A and B are shown apart, each in its own frame.
Chain A
């Protein structure tokens, strides 16, 4: 009555051994990497300092290059002239936005700290105690605990040294990147076609056609994302600023700016941008609009953006399941920090493009081999 066990075929056994060998090799590599951690950190640090400005230059070139091409198509050439026009216009735009926006933002922040910040402190220490949902007794105990352990004081004391220490590791590479970026961009855009051709020539002739096709698809996807996202950030930021002002919310400019900037992060950005105005409306009520109205405005703006603007502007190239986007934000965010969070969606979309491309190649090869079988005598 016992069922006879099927013997494992040689093919299966070979496959198992192959996978086991790969796993062991990966573990060995990981072990070696841990042993030489300092050396790896040194190498990855050097690579990172070169890759970050180059990648940023590539991404900005994806936005600027269509403009340069457009000018050339209109007869404004040679390349240096069209590039100079685009650069001067971009620099002028950045300067003008800083010139007009910075004074408003600074005055709103000053206004907040001189007028509303003391009110918030009073709210937290007096009004919140009276209306605390768990009772004044629990509130007093929490406050006593905070005062005795000096958590906030310690946190504030540690904040300044941590901030100063991070200047060296973050600010210097950032300043270097900002200084290098225009130079890299100029040289990259001047010889855009030549550089791309050189890069293509590295690839073996056998794979050149496929690599070129994949590259063009990736450029198209990432370029569409960047251009669309920039347009959406500007539009949603402007709309939020105007609507906040229309409903009578104070500091509408800063809150609108936050909406525009955080719009680059899918799903989480909406929540991050909605929290400050809602909390402010809650604390300052009944002086300004109620928190429910602010929440409603945010929901309506995000609904219109997500369901009308985004599908029309971005097309269906970047349409992905929300769960995949959230997972990619968490994953790439933990890997690359803030840059990973910002670029999680285009990275995930690029991975999908690569996956679909190889699936297409496989299907093409399969159909070709099938055709070969049927046509052979």
Chain B
């Protein structure tokens, strides 16, 4: 009975925004690193300094975002949708580029390039599982459901 209740519960925009925001904060650094990697910013700047300042900015943005979320909590809690497909697409993109960013980070740290594929496969497997669970439970988006 409890399980059915949990499955059918529709979460408010607040819960969805909290997930999307913290996912963005977790993946912000890897995503910025992806852009720096493509445009070869490491040739212009000291990448260690860049990562340090990026981490500090990430922390500040996370604090500010948390504050904004807390201030708008009541208003967001009143907003409910049947499903959150657009938000799920956003999460999917963030996670995909984040994963690539982890590979870039791995490369910047000077680890052996031979094992990038192994690291990526394990990370992708874990992430796909988490995304499927999040999609089913919070975003009401069941990818595995048969049409």
Residues of chain A whose beta carbon lies under 8 Å from any beta carbon of chain B:
100, 104, 235, 238-239, 241-243, 245-246, 248, 253, 308-309, 311-313, 315-316
Judged by a CB distance under 8 angstroms, whether B28 is at the interface is: no
Residues of chain B whose beta carbon lies under 8 Å from any beta carbon of chain A:
34, 37-39, 85, 88-89, 92-93, 96-97, 100, 103-104, 107, 113, 116, 141, 143, 147
Main SS class of interface, A: helix
Main SS class of interface, B: helix
Q: How far is B143's CA from A248's CA once the two chains are assembled, in angstroms?
A: 34
Q: State the Cβ distance, B98 to closest chain A Cβ, in Å.
A: 12
Residues of chain B within 8 A (CB-CB) of A104 are 39
Asked if B100 and A312 sit within 8 Å, CB to CB, the answer is: no
Q: A309-B92, A312-B88 are in contact. Are A238 and B38 (CB under 8 A)?
A: yes
Asked if A243 and B38 sit within 8 Å, CB to CB, the answer is: no
Q: State the Cβ distance, A290 to closest chain B Cβ, in Å.
A: 13
Q: State the Cβ distance, A314 to closest chain B Cβ, in Å.
A: 10
Residues of chain B within 8 A (CB-CB) of A312 are 85, 88-89, 92, 141, 143
Residues of chain A within 8 A (CB-CB) of B93 are 235
Asked if B92 and A238 sit within 8 Å, CB to CB, the answer is: no
Residues of chain A within 8 A (CB-CB) of B85 are 312, 315
Q: State the Cβ distance, B68 to closest chain A Cβ, in Å.
A: 16
* Across the A-B interface, the 5 shortest Cβ-Cβ residue pairs: A242-B100, A241-B38, A313-B89, A246-B103, A242-B34
Q: A235-B96, A241-B38, A312-B92 are in contact. Are A246 and B147 (CB under 8 A)?
A: no
Residues of chain A within 8 A (CB-CB) of B34 are 238, 242
Q: How far is B85's CA from A102's CA once the two chains are assembled, in angstroms?
A: 35
With CB as the reference atom, state the residue of chain B lying closest to A256: B38
Give the interface centre of A238, A241, A315 by most chain B CB atoms within 10 Å.
A238
With CB as the reference atom, state the residue of chain B lying closest to A319: B147
Of the candidates B89, B116, B141, B143, the one whose C-beta lies within 8 Å of that of A246 is B116
Residues of chain A within 8 A (CB-CB) of B143 are 308, 311-312
Asked if A242 and B37 sit within 8 Å, CB to CB, the answer is: yes
Q: How far is B85's CA from A316's CA once the two chains are assembled, in angstroms?
A: 13
Q: A242-B34, A312-B89, A313-B89 are in contact. Are A100 and B103 (CB under 8 A)?
A: no
Residues of chain B within 8 A (CB-CB) of A245 are 37-38
Q: How far is B77's CA from A121's CA once the two chains are assembled, in angstroms?
A: 66
Q: How far is B39's CA from A51's CA once the two chains are assembled, in angstroms?
A: 39
